Amino acid sequence: MHIHNYEKIWLVLAMIMIVGFLTTVTYGATAVGIEMISDEEDTIDPGALDEDPRFAEPRVEQVGENEYEAYVVAQQYIFSPDPIEVPANSTVTFYVTSPDVIHGFQVAGTNANTMVIPGEVAKLTVETEEPGEHGIVCNEYCGSGHHVMEGKLIIHP
Ligand code: CUA
């Protein structure tokens, strides 16, 4: 089979693009300083968050040497606590729930991302690597203030 030169060039260009794309994806997942390692959910009464020992007072708790749990409430149109502050090089499990409508919880620019459904507790475990600040964004339309619903995650050195 005879392959014309320009076809070879396209093949080479396609290979370069594929390799470049894979490199970007890999680099993107590891360079941001935080990475999701698991994702599941549990049930809760969305009308009684005030009486739930985890969510009555949204907060971050240290539960082991390098282990933290963050109890987060997403509601129209804030995340609590805000900011969420955790150390670098630790394992952080976020428990996130909503008392009103469906929200999103994503650490901007990372694969740490979950839907937050009233009646469910989204559980999301991440490894924090480098210190830095990340936006927390809501990526489910939740009402007129959806576009301003933003929090902050601070990863301390
Ligand atoms: Cu909360 Cu969109």
Question: At which residue do the structure tokens 């900011």 appear?
Answer: 83
* Of 101, 95, 113, residue with least CA distance to 32: 113
Cα 79 to ligand 1 centroid, rounded to whole Å? 9
Whether the CB of 60 sits within 6 Å of ligand 1: no
Whether the CB of 103 sits within 6 Å of ligand 1: yes
Cα 120 to ligand 1 centroid, rounded to whole Å? 16
- Provide the pairing of β-strand 84-87 with 59-64: unpaired
Contact 88, 33 (CB under 8 A): yes
For the chain, give the percent of residues with pLDDT over 90.
Answer: 72
Which residue puts its alpha carbon closest to atom 1 of ligand 1? Answer: 103
Question: How many alpha carbons fall within 13 Å on the CB side of residue 34?
Answer: 30
Contact 96, 116 (CB under 8 A): yes
User: Coil, strand or helix: which one is 139?
Assistant: coil
138 pLDDT band (50/70/90 cuts)?
A: very high
Close Cβ partners of 31 (under 8 Å, ≥ 6 residues apart): none
ipTM over 0.85: yes
Q: What CA–CA distance (Å, rounded) separates 13 from 117? A: 44
**Residue 65 one-letter amino acid:** E
Cα 48 to ligand 1 centroid, rounded to whole Å? 20
Whether the CB of 136 sits within 6 Å of ligand 1: no
Q: What is the DSSP letter of 51?
A: G
Cα 144 to ligand 1 centroid, rounded to whole Å? 9
Instruction: Report which ligand 1 atom has the smallest distance to the Cα of 102.
Output: 1
Whether the CB of 138 sits within 6 Å of ligand 1: yes
Q: With 0.90 as the threshold, say if the pTM is over it.
A: no
27-41, 42-56, 67-81 — most confident range: 67-81
